[in-house]
Structure 1
């Protein structure tokens, strides 16, 4: 198996589903607890949706949080063991499907918000998913993506697209075999939205209160109503 591939991402997350569930439910991830969890909940609820699709829902924390305020919340994830854990915790409708399967129509219906919270890790699978999301949005629906901020996650490596080695540092004990991830520059993220028929409405940079640096970046986009120049 190629150590830098979408296939390896799925393999690594499958191996660490239990550890991830413990880390999230045990509140071991400091940046999420202090900044990014609230940032994504506020971003979604700011659009007063009646229906939400959480793509890459993991063990289901965001679905559970949104279900308190949203009529219909569906979570979908590629990892069967994460979906099992999400269902066991209750609240929400959970389905197992890869991003490639979603691109082929595995999820029915349309939603007021499609949200991807730190779940766009791969390369080709993410690009395929983006091409399918327009068909999952209601006419006035929005796509909300929270991901690592390119400026703060680049490290000492060149600021250019490419696969990076993963790390479970700061997530708690028991993790093995870190999942690789595909780094995109800010410009590449913007281009991905544009090429997938989206128009960016907003870009937010939640700031960590201690480091005073971006803990993430949140993109909010809707379907482009006219052809964009260029």
Structure 2
């Protein structure tokens, strides 16, 4: 797939179109891997850093923001999709703000955090690189950036193990989902490089295993600002 800015646009357009279906899937616990593994894995990763103030990047319908808020953290969830933010704000738990990654990079939030987390919310190429570039300015000294993403070795499938745009599908989801967006595949080495070239030391890489397959359900990168 050709790398261009239109792919970045398709990602956002797809989430605008599928916001309602995604919110239903989360609220009805339709995604087995999240219920069995990855929801708990990202909560545990954040809790392990003892942060008081947290930025949830690409917060979607807000489940992680609410979970962390319930554990006594001051959490701001941000997303580019108005329907997600509107739904989140009706739940009455956590703070939420509409913002694109470009707006975050431009300083729209106007506050700093002990920890930023991106839970399965980094799908692009240029947009993700730009976000990484801005994260240090959003963190307090010694702050942490945590990313949970598809495990590269598992998500690679039969394709070559090299960076590049990939097509996706909504296979396994309800028929309410339409127009799947492309996503940018990164190797483990490339993820590590994103952290290290933007001021972070990799403190830990976690690989939560799926209980049925014993294969990694995700990869969690924990970077500490130095």
Q: Do the structures match in fold with TM over 0.5?
A: yes
Q: Partners of 1:153 and 1:80 in 2: how far apart?
A: 29
Q: Partners of 2:10 and 2:49 in 1: how far apart?
A: 35
Superposed displacement of residue 70, structure 1: 2.6
| Alignment-derived partner of residue 70 in structure 1 | 72
Does the 8 Å contact 1:162/1:184 carry over to 2? yes
- TM-score, normalised with respect to structure 1: 0.94
Superposed displacement of residue 4, structure 1: 5.9
Does the 8 Å contact 1:4/1:163 carry over to 2? no
| Alignment-derived partner of residue 169 in structure 1 | 171
User: Could you list the per-position Cα deviations for residues 145-183 of structure 1 after superposition, in whole angstroms to 9, with x for gaps in the alignment?
Assistant: 000000000011111111111111223331000011100
| Structure 1 residue runs without a partner (length 5+) | 225-230
Does the 8 Å contact 1:29/1:172 carry over to 2? no
Does the 8 Å contact 1:115/1:144 carry over to 2? yes
Counterparts of residues 80-159 of structure 1 (less than 5 Å):
80-159=82-161
Give the direction of change, closer, same or farther, for the CA distance of 1:13–1:155 in structure 2 (3 Å limit): same
Superposed displacement of residue 69, structure 1: 1.1
- The count of aligned residue pairs is 223
Structure 1 residue runs of 4+, over 2 Å off?
A: 170-173
1:19 is matched with which residue: 8, 18, 21?
Answer: 21
User: Could you list the per-position Cα deviations for residues 94-131 of structure 1 after superposition, in whole angstroms to 9, with x for gaps in the alignment?
Assistant: 00111011111011211111000000011111100000
Counterparts of residues 190-209 of structure 1 (less than 5 Å):
190-209=192-211
| Alignment-derived partner of residue 222 in structure 2 | 220
- TM-score, normalised with respect to structure 2: 0.96
Compute the RMSD of aligned alpha carbons.
1.2
